[in-house]
Structure 1
Amino acid sequence: MKTAKKASGWLERKTTTKKLTNGSNVTYPIVQGDRIADNPQHWYWVYRWEEKTGDAYSDNGYITRAIAIPQTKVEGVRLALSLGWSVEKITLLIRATSHCLKRDRPVPAPYS
């Protein structure tokens, strides 16, 4: 019997452009030189996933959910995605407080 693989979502990078009082536009986060696609410090990051729900507007019944990711957790989320972690485990990793992620303290294991 073949089991279906659960989708674990994807990462998206983004920037924000703001118009200053002098009329010029600034793109955040501010980067000196060219933006590097894989550099977590050069972007704002969002983790997105789809959920099947009865109140979705789409015909297929799925809605897309999203959660902002601190730049310090991007590499951890990338690793979790490559390992096929579930959405629940990845969101737990993202929402874990930063004091839990210090090197002198163990990182709590996501619930299975």
Structure 2
Amino acid sequence: MTEPLSPEATATLNALLAGTDPVSSALRAQIPYARVTNRCGCGCVTVDLEVDCSVVPPAMGASHPAADAWCEEPEDAGVMVFARDGYLSLLEIYSSASDPITTWPEPRFVGR
């Protein structure tokens, strides 16, 4: 399975990686080349990502997670983006709610 990122996932990634530091900039440049390769089995919107490494360089020095934020609206949830070998690899959403979160937060609610 590979499919394009949804506009909502793309907006969440852009909000998470909005910094001006070199790692955020390099990861943000990978977003147009990222594809969804898998979805979380619980029903939430968490996705595994794969980047076309032939067209964009790695983000040297990316940590784990590469960026994270807590969003209090529309519901309490955390979002994190992970990189493997300098490339986007996972966009995750989590919360303490019993039901899976099925939508990405609006970018204005993603604070770092």
**TM-score band, normalised by shorter chain:** under 0.3
> Which structure has the larger Rg over C-alpha atoms?
1
TM-score normalised per structure 2: 0.26
Structure with higher RCO (Cα < 8 A, 6+ apart)? 2
TM-score normalised per structure 1: 0.26
